[in-house]
Structure 1
Amino acid sequence: MYAVIKTGGKQYRVTTGQKLKIEQIPADIGQEISLDQVLSVGEGEALQIGAPFVPGASVKATVLAQGRHKKIIVFKMRRRKNYRRTQGHRQNFTEIRIDTVSV
């Protein structure tokens, strides 16, 4: 059974036992969280699609870590104008493990 959840402005297809990195949420390491914005849940012919969310469906997850992604470099340049700008960015993330998918 899988579910499509929405968190941090992004959508993820998750199954039980899967680990993934999502946008940072305020939670402690080891804390169990509930993701209630479930867009669809099921498998095969038993797939339920919400409008926009499936009523009563939720995904339970455990927070494994809080961290920051690798640095990305943002470089802007205008040729022949002596214009160069370099900027770095590191995005925060929360790593979670999906425990249960329930309808």
Structure 2
Amino acid sequence: MYAVIKTGGKQYRVAAGDKLKVEKLVGEVGSDITIDQVLMVADGDNVTIGAPVIAGATVKAKVVAHGRADKVLIFKMRRRKHYRKTQGHRQDFTEIQIENIAAK
């Protein structure tokens, strides 16, 4: 059984036991969170697709850790104009572990 969820403006295909890094979520390490934006649930040949979400379907997950991703460097340059600009960015993330997928 797997599901497609939406969190942080992105979509993820998840199954029970999966660990994934998503955009930062509010919650203490070790706490449980419920994701109710479930776009699709598949259980064998039974596939349920929402329009856009499935009413009553939830995915329960546990917060494993919070952290920051590796630095991404942004470098802009205009040739022959003596213009250079360097900037860095580190995105916050939350690592979660999927515990349960509950459909109607």
| Offset, 1:42 | 1.4
CA distance in structure 1 between the partners assigned to 2:45 and 2:98 by the alignment = 23
TM-align CA RMSD:
0.7
| Offset, 1:40 | 0.3
The share of aligned pairs that are identical, in percent, is 59
CA distance in structure 2 between the partners assigned to 1:20 and 1:6 by the alignment = 13
User: TM-score if structure 1 supplies the norm length?
Assistant: 0.98
CA distance in structure 1 between the partners assigned to 2:6 and 2:14 by the alignment = 11
Unaligned 5+ runs, structure 1: none
Unaligned 5+ runs, structure 2: none
User: Could you say which residue in structure 1 is the equivalent of 2:11?
Assistant: 11
User: Could you say which residue in structure 1 is the equivalent of 2:41?
Assistant: 41
Runs of 4+ in 1 over 4 A off after TM superposition: none
**Alignment of structure 1 residues 1-103 onto 2, 5 Å:** 1-103=1-103
| Offset, 1:15 | 0.3
CA distance in structure 1 between the partners assigned to 2:49 and 2:20 by the alignment = 22
